Structure 1
Amino acid sequence: MVSQAQWQKMNHMQGDRIDYRMTAPTYSSGSLPFAFRVVNGRTVEIQPGRATVGGFYYELDAPFSVPIAANPGDKARLDTIVLRADMAKGSVNLVAVQGQPAAQPIAPQPQRALGQFWEMVLYEVQVPPANGSVTPFARLQFDSPPRIHSPWNAGDTAKFVEQNSFIYDLNVNGGGSQREIFRGRDGLVTSRDLGGMRSFTTSVGNVNFQPPESDRVVRWRWIAPNTVSFSLRINNRSGNDISCVGGNWYIDVALPQPVSGAATAMFHGYLENVSWAGGYPYMTMVYGMPWAWDSPYVHLFQIGHNSPTANNGVQGLDKIPARSNLYLSGVYESNAFAY
């Protein structure tokens, strides 16, 4: 047996939230718990709903009217409508908390004091001057599906969890990356990698030969939904230039994930040519540009080193000289959502 104060100390850490999980793609405002309507311009009627606040469970089982205090002055006010756990009363209640009229009004912050008042805001209410009609704005905070851990094949597991859930791929069998997946309105997407960088062996397109795989290294990771960060290094250790063939005038390199055709991207890098081979200078700035369609390849260009006016100062990177290193990096939008 515990007192209410002891219960609150133990239980408030579960957090304040409305007991309702938003697992559908879309909602209308009137279909949600604690929906509102304004009556006679001055009263906000709150519809039934359930919530936990300050460690206690609350249920409203019938519409409840919350009057908003008059504002006869010439300055607007911001009030809040809150669920308040009142330890002195031993109950949770719906109440309006009045703000101060001001040229730029600020809504009162919720009180959160163990053993006293603990509040969760449901609505911020715009109270115009001269007793105008009030306008509530929802500040509802809902329960969410629990985060789930999967030892492997998390993408397949995520197909069976609730909509708007996060699932973690722990990759306990190794060989991949630990990652976080979100199942949302747009389907399954990796929201971020949680472990070390991933490795990818790039390929060099439109050229006479490929360097060994160990010299075509990309380090990359998902840093946000549909967003990739990468760094690429190609090391030409041979005594021969890697040169364009077949009439091509620029070199391609493959990225670990395709670039979305709906986005634009520009990557930056440089060519380090320590032996001054192939007629290239010691250092050349390199730019990567994918074309406007979903493609795993990025096309390499340079500021014209032979002629500053060549193609308006930009020309294709047509070789990686002998014993030189190419570096390129950037962040881009991938095509996980196929738009």
Structure 2
Amino acid sequence: MQGDRIDFRMTASTYSNGSLPFAFRVLNGRTVEIQPGRAAVGGFFYELDAPLSLPIAANPGDKARLDTVVLRADLAKGSVNLATVQGQPAAQPIAPQPQRVLGQMWEMVLYEVQVPPANGAVTPFARLQFDAPPSVRSPWNTTDTARFIEQNSFIADLDANGGGSQTEYFKGRDGLVVSRDLGKMRTFTSSVGNVNFQPPASDRIVRWRWIAPNTVSFSLRISNRSDNDISCVGGNWYIDTVLPQPVSGGATAIFHGYLENVSWAGGYPYMTMVYGMPWAWDSPYVHLFQIGHNSPTANNGVAGLDKIPARSNLYLSGIYESNTFTY
């Protein structure tokens, strides 16, 4: 183990108080009994091998108090013991901070204890710090490898074969989820839906990355380098585009962008504000809209973006919640 922590790895999805080291129970409303456990604190290893009762000081006044139960390492004596630290009664009480003086005293808080006025029954709240499974690395096949690592572990795909991206995953209660990308931006070839023709793949580029668990950041560029408008067909009144990952059905997302029409083609102005709205739950498709009901220059509502004019560029970007809990 490294640093201050309880010597117990949390590798299950759920726990009860009684199943954990240093579990507590309150005796007679005023005494906290701590169950056996092992921990490292201040560079020492401590083991409690039998229940230990710690009385909480009386609080006869009219204001509440917050105390703490700590593991205290006395570095001068070379000993570690369980102790209580008394806070000050106040209208908004604050628990005392642990002592951390190198070479002298070092404390790790196990419980914050609510001490009501008029000597009411005390209530401990766990502030336990546990050991964790080590973060591991995988050269490739990382999502399959993750099936065999401990629960509540991080695993990083080093992409040693150069076929994808360097990515970190977390295996937790909800499954395996990408926690973040560690390397370069990913690229994705989008498409344009409901239109008369597609521009080349090189002109339909999305740059994106996982920036947090289940969260994608992206920027999209669609260029129409031809002398013809990309226009809606088949009775459709808006253009679709595609994102690299589906937008979660439980989230609301609106993306912002603009249409740069330097040649004023297709009856559109030089610059048009564009909005993207996900097409359906758990779908990568996004409807494109513009300000204006019947005309791109009108300002009386939102209308579908029905064309990407000749020699123009469409830009769209945003951050959204995806849905990757599939393993």
TM-score, normalised to structure 2's length?
A: 0.96
CA distance in 2 between counterparts of 1:32 and 1:212 reads: 59
Deviations 1:194-216 (CA, angstroms, capped at 9, x unpaired): 11110001011111111111111
Pairwise mapping of residues 167-316 of structure 1 onto structure 2 (< 5 A)? 167-304=155-292, 306-307=294-295, 313-316=301-304
For the 8 Å contact 2:22–2:36, the answer to whether it is kept is: yes
1:31 equivalent to 2:19? Answer: yes
Counterpart residue number, 2:308: 320
CA distance in 2 between counterparts of 1:265 and 1:287 reads: 10
1:121 equivalent to 2:125? Answer: no
For the 8 Å contact 2:199–2:224, the answer to whether it is kept is: yes
1:110 equivalent to 2:98? Answer: yes
3-state SS of paired residue (1:159)? helix
Question: 1:31 Cα shift?
Answer: 1.2
For the 8 Å contact 1:207–1:242, the answer to whether it is kept is: yes
Question: 1:114 Cα shift?
Answer: 2.5
Question: 1:292 Cα shift?
Answer: 3.6
More displaced, 62-71 or 297-306?
297-306
Question: 1:281 Cα shift?
Answer: 0.9
For the 8 Å contact 2:290–2:296, the answer to whether it is kept is: no
Deviations 1:253-311 (CA, angstroms, capped at 9, x unpaired): 01000111221110010001111111111111101001342111101011117448989
CA distance in 2 between counterparts of 1:219 and 1:291 reads: 20
CA distance in 1 between counterparts of 2:169 and 2:141 reads: 11
CA distance in 1 between counterparts of 2:77 and 2:58 reads: 26
Deviations 1:23-81 (CA, angstroms, capped at 9, x unpaired): 11111122111111111111000011111111111111111001111112222111100
Amino acid at match of 2:16: S
For the 8 Å contact 2:72–2:108, the answer to whether it is kept is: yes
Identical pairs, percent: 86
CA distance in 2 between counterparts of 1:66 and 1:77 reads: 17
Counterpart residue number, 2:317: 329
Deviations 1:108-130 (CA, angstroms, capped at 9, x unpaired): 11111222111100000111122
RMSD: 1.7
TM-score, normalised to structure 1's length?
A: 0.93
CA distance in 2 between counterparts of 1:307 and 1:215 reads: 26
1:140 equivalent to 2:128? Answer: yes
Gaps of 5+ in 2: none
CA distance in 2 between counterparts of 1:179 and 1:217 reads: 21
3-state SS of paired residue (2:144)? helix
More displaced, 306-315 or 265-274?
306-315
CA distance in 2 between counterparts of 1:48 and 1:173 reads: 48
Q: 1:306 to 1:312 in 2, by over 3 A?
A: closer
1:59 equivalent to 2:47? Answer: yes
Counterpart residue number, 1:90: 78
CA distance in 1 between counterparts of 2:97 and 2:17 reads: 24
3-state SS of paired residue (1:156)? helix
For the 8 Å contact 1:261–1:291, the answer to whether it is kept is: no
For the 8 Å contact 1:197–1:220, the answer to whether it is kept is: yes
Counterpart residue number, 2:6: 18
Runs of 4+ more than 4 Å apart: 305-312
Amino acid at match of 2:276: G
1:164 to 149, 152, 167: 152
3-state SS of paired residue (1:250)? coil
Deviations 1:294-339 (CA, angstroms, capped at 9, x unpaired): 111101011117448989611111100000000000111112137x
CA distance in 1 between counterparts of 2:250 and 2:78 reads: 56
Amino acid at match of 1:100: Q
